[in-house]
Amino acid sequence: MDLLRSLPIGLYLENPFTWLHRLDPRVKLAWLLSFLLAPILSTPEWRLVLVGLLMILTLISQIPLRVWKQQTGWLLILTLLILIITTLSPDGLAVSSQPRLPESDLSLPQPGDYSYVLVDKGILFITRRSLELGIRISTLIFILIYSINLYLLTTAPEEITAGLDELFSPLRRFKIPITEILLTLTLSLRFIALVLEEIQNLMRSIRTRAINWKKLGIKKSLQVWLVVVEKLFENLLMRAEEIAIAMEVRGFISPNQHQVEWHQLRLIGGDWLALGLLIVFWYGRLMWGNS
């Protein structure tokens, strides 16, 4: 399996260059924070709306279907399993109560069609609270993971650091090393592909040796994997040293002696439209999304 071609979660998609790629990283960051904050103290219905918005956003952004399957397939399965398990689990309200009224009064028909127990057929016992809890947990996990993944999928690491550099620029007055922190973030995002490449090369080298794991046993198998992990860290440290040498050769010693050029930020018409829709989004959240 080619880890780099399978496009794991969190990697940047260079092609095709969609309209989401063209948006300003600051605007996309504002939308990301909105998706992360909107589920707080919101109704289950509003969380389902957020999931629907993310799906619609993915479909209209013209992201290839193969990428969408690789990025969301396992996440959809995970959230569906969480929803099913939480819904079918006891809701924790199995409290035995004693009637305070005579039996004749309790037998009177109650007004309305409200029922706390939604399904009661054999092993299937679903209450309103268990269903609501399942929706809350599953949608929260999906929104948190997928919104971050969609942001990283359509935003280059340099654009992310450029947006954060401008947003955090007031902190420089307090002598906080913003440039060093963002440079570390950029190198970390770029280092993900190198880590996957090293893991892929080591896995291929193990397969070519056709090791018979059954004959080795547990102890010797663990020894082999310890050697593999040691080799992985050795290769990663060597790659990190190569990056440090390359930066030093290019004259980067400190931000005071070498100006870091990130990405030119400029708001265009699509960015202003996205900001206007963000205002509408929060208006709907405050009006209809409060629990």
Estimate to the nearest angstrom the gap between the alpha carbon of 138 and the chain centroid. Answer: 13
**Banded pLDDT at 199 (limits 50, 70, 90):** confident
Q: How confident is the model at residue 217 (pLDDT cuts 50, 70, 90)?
A: confident
> b or e along 80-90 (b: 16 or more beta carbons within 10 Å of the residue's beta carbon)?
eebbeebbeee
* Closest C-alpha among 46, 66, 224 to residue 143: 46
Q: How confident is the model at residue 63 (pLDDT cuts 50, 70, 90)?
A: confident
Residue 258 φ/ψ, nearest 5 degrees = -140, 115
Which carries the bigger pLDDT value, residue 247 or residue 199?
199
Instruction: State yes or no: pLDDT of 3 exceeds 60.
Output: no
Dump pLDDT digits (tens) for 238-282.
888 887 787 777 667 665 555 656 567 788 888 999 999 999 999
Categorize the per-residue pLDDT at 161 as very low, low, confident or very high, splitting at 50, 70 and 90: confident
Query: Which has more pLDDT, 81 or 89?
Result: 81
- Average pLDDT of the chain, as a whole number: 81
User: Which class for 30: exposed (0-12), middle (13-18), buried (19 or more C-beta within 10 A)?
Assistant: middle
Centroid of chain to Cα 243: 28
**How much is the pTM?**
0.74
Average pLDDT over residues 14-28: 87
**pLDDT of 91-130, one tens digit each?**
765 555 556 666 655 555 656 677 777 787 877 888 888 8
H or E stretch covering 148: helix 128-154
pLDDT band at 225 (very low <50, low <70, confident <90, very high): confident
pLDDT at 1: 46
Token pair 């090393």: residue: 177
pLDDT at residue 256 in the model: 56
Q: How far is CA 22 from CA 28, 65, 148, 154, in A?
A: 10, 20, 17, 9
Rounded mean pLDDT of 218-246? 84
3-class SS at 290?
Answer: strand
Q: Measure Cα distances from 94 to 77, 91, 97, 172, 205 in Å.
A: 30, 8, 9, 55, 56
Q: For residue 8, what pLDDT is reported?
A: 56
Compare 89 and 50 and report the one with higher pLDDT: 50
Q: What ranges make up the beta strands (E) of 71-187? A: 117-121, 124-127
Coil vs helix vs strand at 255: coil
Q: Bigger pLDDT: 149 or 179?
A: 149
Res 218: pLDDT: 83
Residue partners of 213: CB distance under 8 A and separation at least 6? 221
